[in-house]
Each structure stands twice: as C-alpha cells, then as structure tokens.
Amino acid sequence: MRVLMLCKRQYTGRDLLDDRYGRLHELPAGLAALGHEVLVVAASYRRRGAVDRFVDGVHWLGVDVLPWPGALFAAWRDAARSFRPDVIVASSDALHLVAGERFARHLALPVVLDLYDDYESFSLTRLPGLRASLRDACMRADALVAVSRTLAALLVGRGGAVGRITVIGNGVPGHFVPSLSREQARAALGLPGQVPLVGTAGALSIGRGIGDLFSAFERLQSSRPEVRLVLAGPRDRDVGAAIPPATLDLGHLPHPEVGLVFRALDVGVVCNRDDAFARACHPMKLVEMAACGLPLVAADIGEVSSLLADRSDARYVAGDAEMLALRIAALLDSPAPVDSGLAEPWTSLAGRYAAVLDVAVGAHH
C-alpha cells in the first residue's frame, strides 16, 4: 500500500523532520517497517527551507508555506503525480484536514483524517467558516482516527459516523525506556542521588496547568524540605518567571533523554487545565511515565479519568494544588507505579493504523 501523509512540520513544541518525534514520525515509520511505501509532505508555517530525505524507510519532504502558500499545494500535486498513492492521510490541524480531504476527493482517492487533538479547540478554527468546513470534511472522509475515546465521542456528537471512527492513541518508541537504574539515570543527568525528586518533562506551559506543580511543590517543601523539583522541556515565557527557587532545570532535552528523566524521578506529574483541549487529548507523558515504571499523579481530565479509573491515588483535580501535594507525598511514602500496560509500543499502533487504511482503500473501491 502506498500512503501519502499530509501534515505540518512543527507540532507539540518540536520539529517533525529535525527531531524525528512523536506520532507524525512514529506512525509513518511503523507503516514503512510493515512493508508499506510512505511519503510524508510536512508543511512549515515558519521559514525552515526545503527538505527531501529518506529516513526510517520513509520519504520525507519539507515545504515552507511562506512566502508563497501555493508551494505547498504544488508539492502535494507533484507528490500525488509521482508517488501515485493508494490512500491519503491528513493530520495536524483543521487546514490540513479540510484541504487534504478536498485534495483526495479531487483525485478520487480514499482519505483518512487523523485527529491527535480536538482541532476545533485550536485558535486556527476562529477563521470564518473553517470550523464548519472541518466538520464537513470529517463527515465525508472514508475514515477518522481519533487519539482518544473522549475525542471519538465528541466527533460522534458532531455528526461523525461511529463505524468510521477508530481510536488509536499515542505510543512509546522501542528505545524510549532506558536500561539504567534510578541512580545511573541521575548520574547521567547530573542530578543528586540521595534526595527525593519530583517533576515532569515535556512542553511546560502556564496554559497547560504547570502552575499546579509549582504550587504543590512549594506546599511540599514546608513539610519536606529535602524534596527537589526537576523540570525538562520547552516552555513559554511566563513559565520562566514562575519556576520555584532551587528547581533543578534540565532545559530542553532531546526526546530520547526524556526517558532518562522519568527513570531518575521518584514521582512524575502530568498537569493540565480542564478545558476542551485537555478533555480530548491523549496523555502522552502519562504513558511514557508508565512505560518507565514511574509512580505518577495526573490531572483527572478526559482520557486520564478512563486510563486511571482504578487509581484514584494517581489522579488529582486540575487546579487543586493542595490535593496534588497530598498525592505526591503519599507516593513518596509508598511508591506505586501505574500499570505499564497503559504504554503501547508505536509498532503495535502502526499495525492497527495499517488496518484502518486497508479498510478505507477496500471500501473506496
């Protein structure tokens, strides 16, 4: 099967082509490993320069949208003409889904729309008519892939047919979990070896509720002054001013090193705010922490409520720093990792994705 994927290049704080990170890298690479031919056209909304390379069995093309947006659509047409895909996958945001569905329809090809977030919650959908066009595209597509059960339910409520929606969450790369002890991971990162470490890694944003962790840590320090806070990842400007004193800040680490952080911690924290975005997303950091055997506490929103339904001790009410501090303290006293089975390998998810594409191709013919 020849798969043409249309997506954006910068997402979740990283660069798809430079960092080889996340869903938009792992699923195409997984499909290629299964024997499918995959071409990805990644659009950059920033000027990054053209890219044309083969990595992990996938042909990757990078196209700058600026200064001439027509360059992207020309790249799509050229790719379709030379690659002759059997199916088109569109992902990343409302513009890609709407334009990708129309492009596939123009070529009389089956199209699968991949929603790794609720794109209606993105500011982009404030553009006049885009929200309605997105819903129309979702209703016309041959299949939809939703990143969470919560998002799938939203899509059904907006008119999506239940039988055309498949839930495929986010996974963990095979090399992500380090074969090191906690002490070895701490030494590799330059972290202290004999003190309790609490923290998180990933995109740090006040808008994603990181303030809960900062406030909870300050509460913890009043009774447990030996506890240290560890942070790693890209952050917005407001975060820098809010980071508590004496925090062990590792900066923006390459994604493969995030597993080291999770191995080094005593308790991991997954913050979020109770909003449309959080209710629909899949908690990638939660499953990565689970894969590393890290005891964790996560904001009790959306998919987290389902994944941790039997672990009330691992959930806290978003915005309640006092509850979060109590949950962290309890896990420091009695460590209890969540089920590592919550973390599926990307290779397994790619197999399920291939099945969705195969059905879409078969049904279209």
| Residue 269, φ and ψ in degrees, nearest 5 | -130, 135
Res 203: pLDDT = 87
- What is the number of domains present in the chain? 2
Domain check: are 228 and 327 in the same one? Answer: yes
Could you tell me if residue 142 is inside a domain? yes
Domain check: are 333 and 353 in the same one? Answer: no
Res 255: pLDDT = 86
Domain check: are 153 and 187 in the same one? Answer: no
Could you tell me if residue 177 is inside a domain? no
By the 8 A CB rule, do 220 and 168 touch?
no
Secondary structure (DSSP) of 167-229: E----B-TT-S-S--HHHHHHHHT--SSS-EEEEES-B-GGGTHHHHHHHHHHHHHH-TT-EE
Could you tell me if residue 154 is inside a domain? yes
Domain check: are 154 and 279 in the same one? Answer: no
Domain check: are 56 and 196 in the same one? Answer: no
Res 187: pLDDT = 97
Res 199: pLDDT = 98
Could you tell me if residue 176 is inside a domain? no
Q: Residue 133's domain is classified under what CATH number? A: 3.40.50.2000
What separation, in Å, do the N-terminal and C-terminal C-alpha atoms of the chain show? 14
Give bridge partners of residue 36 from the DSSP assignment.
Answer: none
Domain check: are 311 and 324 in the same one? Answer: yes
Res 274: pLDDT = 94
Domain check: are 94 and 141 in the same one? Answer: yes
Quick one: which H or E segment has residue 26? helix 23-33
Could you tell me if residue 222 is inside a domain? yes
Res 228: pLDDT = 98
Res 345: pLDDT = 96
Domain check: are 100 and 137 in the same one? Answer: yes
Res 14: pLDDT = 84
Q: Domain limits at 70?
A: 2-171+345-364
How many Cβ atoms from other residues are within 10 Å of residue 51's Cβ? 16
Domain check: are 93 and 7 in the same one? Answer: yes
Could you tell me if residue 20 is inside a domain? yes
pLDDT in tens, the chain (365 residues): 999 999 999 988 789 999 998 999 999 999 999 999 999 999 999 999 999 999 999 999 999 999 998 999 999 999 999 999 999 999 999 999 999 999 999 999 999 999 999 999 888 888 899 999 999 999 999 999 999 999 999 999 888 777 899 999 999 998 899 999 999 999 999 999 999 999 999 989 998 999 999 999 999 999 999 999 999 998 888 888 899 998 999 999 988 899 999 999 999 999 999 998 899 999 999 999 999 999 999 999 999 999 999 999 999 999 999 999 999 999 999 999 999 999 999 999 999 999 999 999 998 86
Res 289: pLDDT = 98
pLDDT digits (tens, 9 = 90+) for 223-280: 999 999 999 998 888 888 899 998 999 999 988 899 999 999 999 999 999 998 899 9
Domain check: are 127 and 72 in the same one? Answer: yes
Domain check: are 166 and 211 in the same one? Answer: no
The radius of gyration computed from the CA coordinates of the chain, to the nearest angstrom, equals: 21
Domain check: are 317 and 356 in the same one? Answer: no
